[in-house]
Structure 1
Amino acid sequence: MNLWQTFLDKRGDLLLALGQHIQISLIALVIAVAIAVPLGIWAQGHRRFAQTLLQLTGILQTIPSLALLGLLIPFVGIGTTPAIIALVVYALLPIFQNTYVGLTEIDPAYQEAAAAFGMSRWQKLRRVELPLALPVIMGGIRTATVLIIGTATLAALIGGGGLGNFILLGINRNDAALTLIGALASAALALVFSAGLALIQKLRFRYVAYALGALLVIGGGVVGYQALRPKPETITIAGKLGSEPEVLINMYKDLIEAGHENVRVVLKPNFGQTSFLYAALKSDKIDLYPEFTGTVVTSLVKPSAKDKQALANGANSYPIANRLLAKQGMILQKPMRYNNTYALVVRQADAQRYGLKTIADLDRIPQAQAGFDLEFANRADGYQGVKQAYGLDLKLHSLDASLRYQALVKGQVQVTDGYSTDSQIAQYHLLALQDPKHVFATYRGAPLMRSRWAQQHPAMVKRLNRLANKITETDMQQMNYAVNVQKQSAAKVAKQYLQKHGLLKEAQ
């Protein structure tokens, strides 16, 4: 692992990610302080409601972050907005709790002295209570800051950017250097913010108030600027986790820009699971993303009994998928050539030891341990279909898609799910088991978009369809290998393929 060389190669991307992370964290912190501190002050005089508020903020903090992000996408879209809302939710408890505790635990003698001097409620708060409670309040703000910076890495899952991009990319490509750089940068940022707040805390109260006021003004200005600044028309393309979706979205970008020099295309790689992407597409938060015919007919639409029978008999899934998508105002463009279907993958050593050739042979492994991606484990054309067709009952472990091959290679599981174009199959000399009962559907990829968007951008759709019936399974596996193993950028690999096959020249 050449950490220093990776840092030098990625320093530009790191600075960009660091700036995004600081922006997200700062805005979330400012909003959380603006809500929680006044709420804590109000609760001091309404103690009957204080416990209810403490319980409510505590409950909000227990909501799983991924679940919260998923719930927010249909309402506020993708990017930084849902990430900031989630971070504010998690930061409310420590700030509110410390503000309330700091104010309510002041020695009553100080309260009596303030009353004896004839201070008004505002004067007592400003001159006595807040200065005395400041160390406790600042402690809550520091705790919230560290929590925000650490949790902000999840913004990368929904296209919000930040240091999480490095962590996700490192995990997905099995590149420990990228993961470590992202983690170290996040930890360093948390320490710097915490140290800065500790330094502010040592100042006199009025200077602290000035500093926090300036922070609120600056943060509010950033929020206002982001909301009010003119936004140029852009084309937003998202992709699922992995090198293959990232290569494809870069191809889409190059094809669109080849015909429209003034078009601004924004890419959202490593966006997450299918449900996140489809929800974002339906709510007009993204314009298109690469999807597969098999995923459409099994997860995004509801085929009739007749359609299911036709698919089971080997019918072409593309026209069925498009007919059902049209009912939802969606359209899948012409698919590529390769079939990126599911596969159950084992190590060659296990295949030789137990004589594994087909999925049915897995029952030869005593107490076989399976590590499946959560989506595959619950799909009718995934593990659920495998169980029904082959009568298997594996001991199942739910693993993130980016970790399952690592678990297989290390012997922590004996079988995992993969795709026929995965570079890891060649990289680790693995075996994809045969599926004689054809549980796995045909997966041919194409741009999925709203029908209205396609009608409004016919020239762009025509360029995207240059990929129709292009790219073989060998081509895709080689491109995945170039990104995951040879560490080439997805953008470079995508452009090389398009240039080699003359697709950019034809699109002009």
Structure 2
Amino acid sequence: MLWNEVIQAYMERKEWFLELMVQHITLALVAAALSGTIGLLVGIWIAEHERMSAPVLGIANVFYTIPSISLLGMLIPFLGIGNNTAVAALTIYGIMPMVRNTYAGIRGVSADVVMAARGMGSTDLQIMTRIKLPLAAGVIIAGVRSMVVMTISTAAIASFIGAGGLGVAIYRGITTYNMALTFGGSFLIALLALFSDLLLGRLEKNMKKRSGN
């Protein structure tokens, strides 16, 4: 059975699979950190400058619709092959859900609450950091959740341009007709994505309870 072959592959190549998993997690974490930071800042900016929201979200949507393998090919002439190109592509993909959710979360904060805070003498920075972001935290975390899961899943294609990660096992399994390697790499990616989704889902619920949403 295939599952028995997969278990045998895990046992025989446990150090290799562990190394690939560490590489995969590292790629995903770096890309997620960059996407989260850039997406949060851009989302805050367009929420405060409403007239810029349509073009920025439009551009983000365009990049989001480009097939991942095509985006990697477009970046290779500028960044070469390897981890840098993979991180850049994953970061670009991850920005969209962060921008969208940050924008939606901040714009969803009640105008009455903001006006009350402004009437009490709060500055724009204080309103953003103490009112808007805390109240929008649940929606923003939902964006982080989508972005992280997508980044972990999409990182599988990094092996096609010479980067590391569990995609190496999938690619090697495909090229050598070894279904155990292909399934083994895919299964571990699914586990990482599921674990991240459950963890961030719990955080999302807690944040929404605190913000009263």
Per the TM superposition, whether the score is higher than 0.5 is: yes
Which structure: larger Rg? Answer: 1
In the alignment, structure 1 residue 156 sits paired with structure 2 residue 148: no
> Superposed, which structure 2 residues align to 1:267-282 within 5 Å?
none
Aligned residue type for 2:150 = L
Quote the offset at 1:198 in angstroms.
3.2
The correspondence of residues 167-186 of structure 1 with structure 2, limited to 5 A, is 167-186=170-189
The equivalent of 2:105 in structure 1 is 102
Amino acid in structure 2 at the alignment position of 1:44: A
| Deviation of 1:152 (Å) | 0.4
Equivalent residue number for residue 129 of structure 1: 132
Task: Encode CA deviations 1:379-411: one digit per residue, 9 max, x unaligned.
Answer: xxxxxxxxxxxxxxxxxxxxxxxxxxxxxxxxx
Q: How big is each residue's C-alpha offset from its partner over 1:329-376, in whole Å with a ceiling of 9 and x where there is no partner?
A: xxxxxxxxxxxxxxxxxxxxxxxxxxxxxxxxxxxxxxxxxxxxxxxx
**Equivalent position to 1:47, from 50, 55, 58:** 50
Q: Distance in 1 between matches of 2:125 and 2:204?
A: 22
Q: Give the superposition deviation at 1:202.
A: 5.5
Question: How far apart are 1:117 and its partner, in Å?
Answer: 2.0
CA distance in 2, matches of 1:127, 1:201: 18
Q: Which residue of 1 aligns with 2:37?
A: 34
User: Which residue identity lines up with residue 47 of structure 1 in the other structure?
Assistant: E
Q: Using the TM superposition, give the Cα deviation of residue 199 of structure 1 relative to its aligned residue in structure 2, in angstroms.
A: 4.1
TM-score by length of 1: 0.39
Q: Tell me the distance in 2 between the aligned counterparts of 1:3 and 1:13.
A: 14
Give matches, 1:40-439, under 5 Å. 40-201=43-204
CA contact (8 A) 2:83 2:163 kept: yes
In 2: Cα distance, 1:182 partner to 1:190 partner: 13
- Amino-acid identity (%): 36
- The C-alpha deviation readout for 1:255-299, integer Å capped at 9, x for no partner, is xxxxxxxxxxxxxxxxxxxxxxxxxxxxxxxxxxxxxxxxxxxxx
Matched, 1:23 2:6: no
CA deviations over 1:165-209 (Å, ceiling 9, x no partner): 11111222222211111111001111222233334446679xxxx
- Measured after TM superposition, the shift of residue 44 of structure 1 is 1.2
Rounded Cα–Cα distance in structure 2 between residues aligned with 1:119 and 1:204: 23
Q: Which has the higher helix share?
A: 2
Deviation at residue 157 of structure 1 after TM alignment: 0.5
> In structure 1, what is the Cα distance between the partners aligned to 2:16 and 2:132?
46
Question: Which residue identity is paired with 2:200?
Answer: L
What displacement does 1:68 show?
Answer: 1.6
Q: What RMSD, in angstroms, separates the aligned Cα atoms of the two structures?
A: 1.6
> Structure 1, residues 295-325: CA drift from partner, whole Å, max 9, x if none?
xxxxxxxxxxxxxxxxxxxxxxxxxxxxxxx
Residue 7 (structure 2) aligns with: 4
Q: TM-score w.r.t. structure 2 length?
A: 0.91
Q: CA deviation at 1:78?
A: 1.1
Structure 2 Cα separation of the partners of residues 197 and 168 of structure 1? 29
SS of the equivalent of 1:6 reads helix
Output the CA distance in 2 between the equivalents of 1:65 and 1:48.
30
In 2, Cα distance between the equivalents of 1:36 and 1:204? Answer: 19
Amino acid at match of 1:6: A
Offset of 1:111 from its aligned partner?
1.3
The answer to whether the Cα contact below 8 Å between 2:60 and 2:95 also exists between their aligned partners in 1 is yes
1:69 to partner: Cα distance: 1.3
Q: Which amino acid aligns with 1:88?
A: T
1:422-466 C-alpha deviation (Å, 9 max, x unpaired): xxxxxxxxxxxxxxxxxxxxxxxxxxxxxxxxxxxxxxxxxxxxx
Q: 1:69 to 1:204 in 2, by over 3 A?
A: closer
Residues matched between the structures, number = 205
Check whether the contact 2:141–2:203 (CA below 8 A) recurs between aligned residues: no
How far does the alpha carbon of each residue in 1:16-36 deviate from its partner, in whole angstroms, 9 at most, with x for none?
A: 000000110000011111111
Structure 1 partner of 2:16: 13
Point out the structure with the larger strand share.
1
Query: Runs of 5+ in structure 1 lacking a partner?
Result: 206-508
Higher relative contact order (CA 8 A, sep 6+): 2
